[in-house]
Amino acid sequence: MSRRAGVMLIVLAGLAGCQLLRPSAPESRAVYFVEKMVREPAAVDDLRAVMWLADDQLPDSFVADLSTRTAMLYLRTRHRQGASLDFSSTVRSSPTTSRKMVRVTVRESGAGKLAEPVQFDVSLEKRDTEWRVTRLHTD
């Protein structure tokens, strides 16, 4: 094998590995998205890879309304303070085969935990064979 072919093989394996690290099922993709938004909001490339987002938009534009922004800010702060956060999901609705609404619940475990879990509704849309996030909302 030539050196060039070897380098191409390594690059392709790396790209495939990155894609494998991001879950593809809508429920796990919604959890991945919320967890990444809480723990690593500066990981813009990783977030973009699981969102349908215009080129000029940033992932934080999905945290637009006051209640969602407040919940996200609170969880980011608790994460920075060392709180142990657990993320889980349930499918809320599936209006069509190409759209799903997934509820992601964030609970804090251990001493000093949250009084109530924080719940986000994550809308996802399937285009071709790929599910991506289209909206994030909380009550």
Spell out the domain ranges in the chain: 24-137
Mean pLDDT over the full length of the chain: 84
* Model confidence pLDDT, tens digit, residues 5-49: 444 444 444 444 444 455 678 999 999 999 999 999 999 999 999
Does residue 115 contact residue 86 with C-beta atoms inside 8 Å? no
* Model confidence pLDDT, tens digit, residues 51-107: 998 888 999 998 989 999 999 999 999 999 999 999 999 987 776 788 999 999 999
> In terms of CATH architecture, what is 24-137?
Roll (3.10)
Six token digits for residue 100:
């799903």
Question: What pLDDT is stored for residue 24 in this prediction?
Answer: 72
Six token digits for residue 53:
């987002």
Distance CA 22, CA 47 (A): 10
**Which of these, 123, 25, 33, lies nearest to 72 by C-alpha position?**
33
Does residue 38 contact residue 79 with C-beta atoms inside 8 Å? yes
Distance CA 58, CA 53 (A): 8
